[in-house]
A = this chain, B = another copy of it.
Amino acid sequence: MDLSDNTIERICKIFGYLNFLERSETKLVSSRELAKAIGSTEYTVRKDISFLAVGGYTRKGYEVKSLKQELGNKLNLNKKRKACIVGLGRLGSALLDYEKFQEDGFEIVAGFDCSINKLERIQTQIDVFSDNDIKEIVCLREIEVGIIAVPPQSAQDVADKLIGAGVTGILNFSTQKVIVSSNVIYLNLDFTNALRFIAAKVMIQKAKK
């Protein structure tokens, strides 16, 4: 059966909220509450969940712990996954120590930069290496996801190296779109585009009135 990207994204958000509920020791949650938390409707939430999980207790809602377990199993969100960051400028080095990744099942196990100078001066607990070591370290440490935080002109080159080394997913923070083979999952988080989107929606909202 095929899950749409929208469904996958919502389930990921639901998973994050379940994480939060679990930490605050909440036992049960309704489809309505989940919908509110992720900005959707109860119908859609129920449908999304029904694609992947079985049986909430009627009249009570879903059991937080088992739902999280079940969704996590189906979407590979339970076990810790390893990632690395390429490009240790301001953004990259901020991400390197981004604690949230740890809390939520990701482990940054390496950083890379092409500048030896930067590698020497950077202060972090994470091991850092030269770009030239990407292949070796990605294989050795079984890194699944590569996070790209380099200037646009190097983005494609870095992506090629990461894919050549065997990552299955790429998260690209650079503004440069990169082309990846179809067996690699690719996501671009472009801040500028996010701001554009907001500006556009503001405009449209104003125009309506």
Residues of chain A whose beta carbon lies under 8 Å from any beta carbon of chain B: 3, 5, 8-9, 11-13, 15-16, 37-39, 74-77, 81, 83, 89-91, 93-95, 97-98, 100-101, 104-106, 144-145, 168-171, 175, 177, 183, 185, 187, 189-205
Contacts and interface: CB of A to CB of B under 8 A. Distances in A.
Contact of A95 (B3, B190, B191): B191
B200 A76 contact: yes
B98 A191 contact: yes
> Copies per complex?
2
Contact of A195 (B8, B171, B201): B171
Interface of A, helix, strand, loop or mixed by DSSP: helix
Given A94-B94, A95-B191, A192-B101, A198 B175 contact: no
B185 A189 contact: no
Given A192-B106, A197-B9, A97 B101 contact: no
Nearest to A173: B191
A100 B191 contact: yes
18 contacts: A12-B200, A13-B193, A16-B196, A76-B203, A77-B196, A81-B195, A81-B199, A90-B93, A90-B97, A93-B94, A100-B175, A104-B195, A106-B192, A106-B195, A168-B202, A169-B201, A171-B194, A187-B197
A151 B36 CA distance: 21
A189 B200 contact: no
A38 to B, nearest CB: 8
A132 to B, nearest CB: 25
